[in-house]
Each structure stands twice: as C-alpha cells, then as structure tokens.
Amino acid sequence: MNFKIDNLQYCNWSREIFKINREAGLDAIHVTIVYHEDFDELQNVISSWNKNFKENSDLIFLGKDFKDIEKAKLENKTAIFFGFQNCSPIEDDIALIEKVHEQGCRFMQLTYNNQSLLATGCYEKNDSGVTNFGREAIKEMNRVGIVIDMSHSAEKSTLDAIEVSEKPIAITHANPSFWYAAKRNKSNDLLKTLADSGGMLGLSLYAHHLKDSTNCTLQSFCEMAAKTAEIIGAKNIGIGSDLCLNQPDSVVEWMRNGTWTKVQNYGEGSKNKPGFPKQPDWFLDARGFKNLDTGLKKVGFNENEVNGILGNNWYNFYKGIN
C-alpha cells in the first residue's frame, strides 16, 4: 500500500481546500495550528478545528498515529495531524507537553525564527544551542510521543536536538542550502547528521525557500531532490510543502512579528514584497503532487523511491516513532 503525505501545510482552511487535498490523494497532512499562541489561545484554535472535523467528517479527521494514515487511505479521507511552529503553548511549564499531546499535538518546533525558552531560532545572530529547559522538554516529548521539529531552528541548536533526542527528529519543511542559501535552508553536514540518526527532511515548496523563488522550475526542484538523495539517501526525504493557500497577507505579518516587536519585520520577504509569495505554477496546491511524481521520475528516481518521497517515507517515520 502506498501513501501520499504532505507533512506541512498552513492554509486558510475551508471545505474547498479539504476537497483539493482529497483530489490530490493526500492520506495525511501535518497542519500548523500554532505560531505564537500561548496555551489558552491554543484552546480557541483547537475549538475551531473541532468544528472543521464535525462539518467535514466525510473528508477529514484528527490523526493520532500511523494507524490513522492507514484508516484514511481505506476510507478515502485525510488524517490531520496537529503541529506547532513554536513552543509557545507550553509556556514555561513542562507539564503542558503531555497536555498538548492529549489534545492532538504530534509535532512541535523548539523555536520559530527567534530565541525561545528551548533553543535558538535561525534569525538570531548567536546560536547558544538547546537550553536546559530544552533538554528536559525533548525528553518529555520523546516520552509522550511528540516529534521534535527543527525547521526554523539554528544549526547548533538542531545538532544539539539530534544528540539529545532518543528518537529521530524531523525538519518538516526546508531545503538544502547548497541549492539555495535561504536562512531557513540547511547545510549538508546538518542533513547528513539528521539522516544518520534516522531523521526526516520534508522538502519545502514555499517560494522563499526555492531557487529562483516563484520562477523555480520543476526540473530544478527535482534535480535538487536527486542531489539531496545522494547526500542523505532517498528514504530520508519527504514533502513538507508549507502551502499557505488563501491566507491573507495579515497572517504572514503575524507569523513574522507575533507580539515581540513594534517594528515591521519582513522575514524572508522585503519592504517591496511584504506578503505571501506566489507559488510556482507547477505546485499551486496539493494537486501539484502529480507533477512531482513526473518530475522525480524524469531525474532518475525509480518508482519505489518516488512513492517514498511522496508519502511512504513519512508513513514509515510515523510508524517508527510510536
């Protein structure tokens, strides 16, 4: 049985988008439900998702483990796995890690772009690594079953997390820096260490992470995937598209600024291009998985490797961490 998984989306969720993901054949999606929200604010987000599950029960349901990916496949639905792009909901209380797991969280980044109580974000000038609280949080996340996600974290912090964690970690949405040197993309050495520890890299389709941005070609992206596979192995690669369909630009402003600054922060954008970038025309939404299938085969991946990258590798990762 082959699975199709997008291990990162942050869309302006609607029935239309749930239908698009079903049309694309997605059996599971890891969805971002937190950027800067604290624990109380998280409860409102979960309430909104509970409404989505109730009103769209023919299309989606809350996923808890790999068995729900299998269930989604059999029922022609999409399992939704909750994830945080920041550790803000646990505040400074390690007991909240178990609580958010009970509420469905299965992935949590130790940082967004800035320093957190747990580790250092990729936009900080100095990377002090994983903190004492971070080390304890990793142990607790391992215990309850939340994956450590280091997509937005700085290099030393990420290497520390790999070393401290007793379970494989993930970089759910980023690309290698040899292809495009965005702040969020990752070095070869880091990716090798990630793969050697059994971790996963989700290749991102967000334009700010792509060589030539919106004008990135399918061939260039797939050639990058092939080169990455030479470095870390095809079995350690999946897709984490970072799709932000139908989100207003006010949302990307919130993502970048939160409540921590009064000065406009443009992140990976610029003053001239402050909003969400346009997607490449070959990946406008999840139906672009079909183009990835074709493109990956054209650059030399065999069918088993393509099926792995488009979903089976993430399925095996989910299965291995339970």
Instruction: Give the long-range contacts of residues 299-303, CB within 8 A, separation 24 or more.
Output: 299/219, 299/222, 299/223, 299/225, 299/226, 300/226, 301/225, 301/226, 301/229, 301/234
Helix, coil or strand: residue 86: coil
The single residue listed with the structure tokens 């389709």 is 205
Domain count, the chain: 1
- Is the pLDDT score of 279 beyond 90? yes
- Quote the longest CA-to-CA distance of the chain: 51
Domain CATH code at residue 174: 3.20.20.140
Report pLDDT digits (tens) over 99-130.
999 999 999 999 999 999 999 999 999 999 99
β-partners of residue 83 are 32, 107
Question: If you average pLDDT over every residue of the chain, what do you get?
Answer: 95
pLDDT of amino acid 264: 74
pLDDT at 267 over 90: no
Tokens of residue 221, six digits: 């992206």
Residue 271's pLDDT band, with cuts at 50, 70 and 90, is low
The confidence score (pLDDT) of residue 261 equals: 79
Between these two residues, 272 and 75, which has the higher pLDDT value? 75
pLDDT greater than 70 at residue 49: yes
Give the pLDDT confidence score for residue 172 in this predicted structure: 98
Cα separations (Å) of 263 from 10, 127, 256, 259, 303? 24, 23, 11, 10, 49
Which pLDDT score is estimated for 43?
Answer: 98
pLDDT for position 250: 75
The whole-number average pLDDT for the span 201-230 is 97
- Domain housing 120: 5-321
Residue 69's pLDDT is 98
Mean of the pLDDT values across residues 190-199?
98
pTM: 0.96
The pLDDT of residue 289 is 98
Kindly report, residue by residue over 154-182, the tens digit of the pLDDT.
999 999 999 999 999 999 999 999 999 99
The band of 249, judged by pLDDT with boundaries at 50, 70 and 90, is: confident
pLDDT category of residue 269 using cuts at 50, 70 and 90: low
pLDDT at 263: 75
At residue 18 the predicted structure's pLDDT band, cuts being 50, 70 and 90, is very high
Residue 295's contacts (CB-CB under 8 Å, 6 or more residues apart) are 218, 219, 221, 222, 282
Burial of 287 (0-12, 13-18, 19+ CB in 10 A): middle
Length, in residues, of the chain:
322
pLDDT reading at 302 higher than 70:
yes
